[in-house]
Amino acid sequence: MGLMDGKRGLILGVANELSIAWGVAQQLRAAGAELAFTYLNDSLEKRVRPLAESLDAKLILPCDVARDEDIEALFAELEKAWGKIDFVVHAVAFANREDLKHGFSQTSREGFRLALDISAYSMVAVTRCAVPLMNPGGSIVTMTYLGAARVIPDYNIMGVAKAALEASVRYLAAELGGRGIRVNAISAGPIKTLAASGIANFREKLRVGEERSPLRRSITQDEVGKATLYLLSDLSSGVTGEIHYVDGGFNVTA
């Protein structure tokens, strides 16, 4: 007897076993959900396919969220195989590496466009394609970070992209609430993942996060997975359009 028995959904954003999306996938599967996965490119397919198969996934499909045709083809495949779906997890972000260290005003027009396209617009495009397939009671969750709401050193253009993502969650929730579809974000504290390993001095950022967290420690992929399970399940049937902090939101001050 699982919270997600009989439910089917899609997970975007697994790159390897450290990915937040992988922590989410394991929790959803343990609760009885049937999962479909996407991978960005051929080299990531080699990592994602065995992980997905270990959770009994049959649908393991390519999707570069920068390409509308990839997103459309993905949902066409889901419709063919399943007809309807119950949930989507969006755990995708990207900015140019240099844009996450130089002064924010140095951000180029193209760097700004890229970060907002991959990290924020993709949530809108994925949601639009998911909605026609979603059962009433459907739920969509994306991953954000505190740098949307406050200035976090070096987060830079990603903070602006996450602010757009969080506002998009509120507008999508308001539009889709009448159809019984909920949309929420989880704002996770710093976790050492592939994306994080591309950040200069990430160890230091983790340490500061631990100091400022009410729990006085980093959170885990597993803990993000459990919070996502709640938001995708009927336990949160009255909850939509919200940013849910998993780490206490840096609320401890000196």
Q: Residue 199 binds which entry of ligand NAD, ligand 0WE, none, with Cβ cut-offs from 5 to 8 Å by kind?
A: ligand 0WE
Inter-residue contact 122 to 130 (CB < 8 Å): no
For ligand 0WE, the closer of residues 14 and 199 by Cβ is 199
Cβ within 8 Å of residue 184, ≥6 positions away: 139, 140, 141, 142, 169, 173, 231, 236, 239, 240, 241, 242, 243, 244
State the catalytic residue, choosing from 39, 121, 145, 171.
145
Using CB under 6 A as the binding rule, whether residue 198 contacts ligand 0WE is answered as yes
Query: Near ligand 0WE by CB under 6 A, which window of 25-33, 154-162, 212-220, 238-246?
Result: 154-162
For ligand 0WE, the closer of residues 86 and 247 by Cβ is 247
Q: How far is CA 47 from CA 12, 39, 50, 56, in A?
A: 14, 9, 6, 15
Distance CA 42, CA 46 (A): 7
**Strand-by-strand arrangement of the 182-188 sheet:** 59-62, 34-39, 8-12, 85-90, 134-144, 182-188, 243-246
Among 24, 35, 92, 93, binds ligand 0WE (CB under 6 A): 93
Q: Residue 160 binds which entry of ligand NAD, ligand 0WE, none, with Cβ cut-offs from 5 to 8 Å by kind?
A: none
Residues near ligand NAD (CB under 6 A): 13-15, 19-21, 40, 44, 63-66, 91-94, 118, 143, 145, 188, 190-191, 193-196
Q: Which of 213, 108, 126 lies closest to 168 in space, CA to CA?
A: 126
For ligand 0WE, the closer of residues 75 and 145 by Cβ is 145
Tell me which DSSP letter residue 251 carries. Answer: -
State the catalytic residue, choosing from 39, 155, 230, 245.
155
C-alpha torsion 30→36→42→46, nearest 10: 30
For ligand 0WE, the closer of residues 44 and 196 by Cβ is 196
| Site of interaction with ligand 0WE (CB under 6 A) | 93-95, 97, 100, 145, 152, 154-155, 158, 190, 195-196, 198-199, 205
